[in-house]
Amino acid sequence: IMYLGVFCMAIWLSDKHRRILCEVFVAVGCIMGLLLIFPCDLFTTWGSGTYATVFCQYTHFGSFMSMCIPCGMYLFLTDKGGLIRMLRIAQVWLLFNTMMVNATRATAVAVGGVFILINVWGFMLDKSKRKNVIVLDILLIVTVMFLHTDAHLSERAKDNLGVAEQIVLRENCGSD
């Protein structure tokens, strides 16, 4: 609820102060993301194979990430371009990867909801942002499909196909 309060408070801030707040969220989220993706002995694993960095509970870290990712997307969509735009892409990509490593369902649902809202906004309300929204869509899809923490989606699909083939073979051999 605290993060929701910070988010709602940011709506009332001036553009300059809102950007500063988002910059802080994104910077801290990226630092924690690096600590999560490249673990050191200071941070331990919590839960069943989920990671939390400095948070004592992986779901708390997921809640924090569900605030950092929209902030990163906001900064990307409102920046003018150039070198800072490339930095924003790298930051958002790191935050997406951190979300995948953290593997909290609530975070994925929250970010999915934000993506639906951003796509509606970018394709229906502010068509000038359409290309930027497509870049974010592609970045998330590539991250989810090819950079998943357990295995690449293609490898998991092959494994599932192999299991399905074995089941079909067993059923066919049993019917003879």
d(CA 94, CA 82): 19
Residue with the larger pLDDT of the pair 70 and 161: 70
Judged against a pLDDT cut of 70, whether residue 16 lies above it is answered with yes
Least confidently predicted of 51-55, 73-77, 94-98: 51-55
pLDDT (mean) for 36-42:
65
| pLDDT given for residue 153 in this prediction | 41
Judged against a pLDDT cut of 70, whether residue 164 lies above it is answered with no
Q: Which two tokens stand for residue 1?
A: 């609820």
Residues forming beta bridges with residue 51, ordered by sequence position: 45
pTM for the predicted model, two decimal places: 0.73
First to last CA, the chain: 60
Average pLDDT, the chain: 77
d(CA 63, CA 98): 12
Half-sphere exposure (Cβ direction) of 51: Cα atoms closer than 13 Å = 22
Judged against a pLDDT cut of 80, whether residue 172 lies above it is answered with no
| pLDDT given for residue 176 in this prediction | 47
Residues forming beta bridges with residue 45, ordered by sequence position: 51
